[in-house]
Amino acid sequence: MAESRRIARLILQGFHHHYQLFQAITNTAEQHFTARAWGKLQAAARDRISFYDLRVQETIAMLNQELATDEPNTELWQEVRSTYEELLLFHPQAELAETFFNSVFCKLFHRRYFHNQFIFVESTLARRIPLPVETEYQSYFPVAEGVKETLRRIINEMHFTAKFADLEANIAQLMRAFQRQSNVRALAAHQLRLDVLQNPFYRNKAAYVVGRIVTEDQQYPFIVPVLVNQQGELFLDALITDVNQMTIIFSFSRAYFMVNTRAPSALVRFLKGLMPRKTLAELYSSIGLHKQGKTEFYRELLNHLADTNEQMVAAPGIRGLVMMVFTLPSFPYVFKVIRDEFGESKPFGRDTVLKRYQLVKRHDRVGRMADTIEYSNVALPLSCISADLLEELKKSIASSLEFENDLLIIRHMYIEKRMTPLNIYLEYANPEETKAIIQDYGQAIKDMLAANIFPGDMLLKNFGVTRTKRVVFYDYDEVQYLHEMNFRALPKAESMEDSLQDSSSISVAPNDVFPEQLPQYVFYNPKLRAQFLDLYPELASADYWGEQQEKIKAGVIADVFPYPQCIRFLHVKYDEAT
């Protein structure tokens, strides 16, 4: 018993070390935000992603000094798991600590031991009284001091260290925005309560105050972005009350928030109440706890497979040259595995693909690049895989497959949220939808350029359309940094002989790009090409791409807002009567 307790405490000590460091770097966000140190804030968010794996490795190194075998002592490790579960009885991050235990055990031993006897396949939290959500938010009661003073208190109690440029004017704007946007405009102060999460959510160049208005019958979620001007003064920028718009702010296509939380399960349950369509996996990932997001996703997948007789099939659309992609039609994700052999047009190997997916994982995705969940040794029941798909998997990714009784083990896999491929969307879109989505496709490219991302292959099949009709890029095998590319104009014909010369005879270096070819390359349909050029003629100009590149080299971090410009207080015109 003493040995099992020592091992359990050593693993929990490893988790505590991880979470302390995770919170310490998270807490630097406010300082960087106030100082307008955008590069440092992005670097902190990027560095934080690797913290978990480093602490797991450190814990394993300590355990390896005590464990002399690769085979777990069954009785000992069952005691370790039981003891560890006892230690988590009143732990504020119990679900994260369970996942940390799983990570350590799964690195130490073979996957045949990955079941609930030894690890937390099912969380023990379901059998306990959940942490009260109230631990993460503060309630405010306008009946006691009026709406205006309540709003002032909410902002002041966010504990921003910088001063507001004109908080009184911002409060007035906020009150008018509530009156115009909210369904509670007719309610008196005594008929509502405001619940606000105690800590702001930091990401890129903004902080977000998140809360809800509670009435006797209903609740109304809201987000208030806070920005900082060039003088280092804060100002409220907008009021977001539309749930669809809130889900875009918390989208899988954006970088992770940095937010201080002592009880993540309570924070996530509060967010789930505001955005019911979001899964626990998505919400944990959105606040930077992407390993917990992986755990929650895998549980969702196992539960879904247990409840359906449906089989996985190849994903609809044009087959990729680098990734084999398949899906379960009733489950809103796709599964991507690197092919054994690439097409001739892909002059790179597996290691390059792995690095490029990691690049995107650690980069600011500006709402235009899908997050990926990366797994090793994924076990899928053979019964859930269609015969046609299994045959295709054997032909295209045989080196990644292992068969174990009635299971198919895939050694390495990426999982992404499923979207409608843009080329398929355009086949069925009406003229109005077509124009809107082409406009968003061009804006998606511009947003990625602003984030120092050159997407590489910009064919429509490599972009998806989300439920909220946003265009998101999801094929990363040719992604590179914008500043590494060389943008060139096509040579101008000076004679009849030059005009007849094939473009393939032009001398091209590996990173040379000719933006003039983009419209022709992407849009085979002349009408769509003309629409694109009418909306974005600059994207066919090498000069424009070069200008964006120079901004990146000069250290400019562009403003990419996750909410419409038209709702910003700066642009809203209020009727004097309101």
Can 575 be counted among the known catalytic residues?
Answer: no
**Residue-wise over 160-192: b if at least 16 C-beta within 10 A, else e?**
bebebeebeebbebbebbbeebbebeeeeeeeb
Of 394, 396, 399, 420, nearest to 327 by C-alpha is: 420
Q: Is 151 helix (H, G, I), strand (E, B) or coil?
A: helix
* Gap between the Cα atoms of 382 and 376, Å rounded: 17
* Gap between the Cα atoms of 348 and 478, Å rounded: 9
* Gap between the Cα atoms of 167 and 175, Å rounded: 12
* Gap between the Cα atoms of 27 and 400, Å rounded: 40
Say which of 195, 237, 364, 371 is annotated catalytic.
371
Please state the φ and ψ torsions of residue 433, each to the nearest 5 degrees.
-65, -40
CA distances from 542 to 59, 441, 515, 538 (A): 51, 19, 5, 8
225 is in an annotated binding site: no
339 is in an annotated binding site: no
Taking phi first (over 0 means left), then psi (-120 to 50 degrees means alpha), and beta for anything else, what does residue 456 get? left
Please state the φ and ψ torsions of residue 49, each to the nearest 5 degrees.
-60, -35
Structure tokens at 129: 């009284």
318 is in an annotated binding site: yes
Please state the φ and ψ torsions of residue 98, each to the nearest 5 degrees.
-60, -45
DSSP string, 415-469: EEE--EEHHHHHHH--HHHHHHHHHHHHHHHHHHHHTTEE-S---GGGEEE-TTS
Q: Is 121 helix (H, G, I), strand (E, B) or coil?
A: coil
Helix (H) or strand (E) holding 280, with range, is helix 280-286
8 is in an annotated binding site: no
Instruction: Name residue 403's beta-bridge partners.
Output: 408
* Gap between the Cα atoms of 44 and 22, Å rounded: 10
343 is in an annotated binding site: no
How long is the chain?
578
Q: 132 burial class (0-12, 13-18, 19+ CB within 10 angstroms)?
A: exposed
Half-sphere exposure of 28 (CA within 13 A, CB side): 18
Q: 119 burial class (0-12, 13-18, 19+ CB within 10 angstroms)?
A: buried
Between helix 2-26 and helix 74-87 the angle, nearest 10°, is: 50
**Residue-wise over 251-286: b if at least 16 C-beta within 10 A, else e?**
bbbbbbbbbbbebbbbbbbbbbebbeebbbbbbbbb
3-state helix, strand, coil in the chain (%, to 5): 50, 15, 35
**Residue-wise over 4-19: b if at least 16 C-beta within 10 A, else e?**
beebbeebbebbbebb
320 is in an annotated binding site: yes
Q: Apex CA 368: angle with CA 448 and CA 521, to 5°?
A: 65
Catalytic residues: 371
Binding residues: 315-321, 336
Binding residues for ATP: 315-321, 336
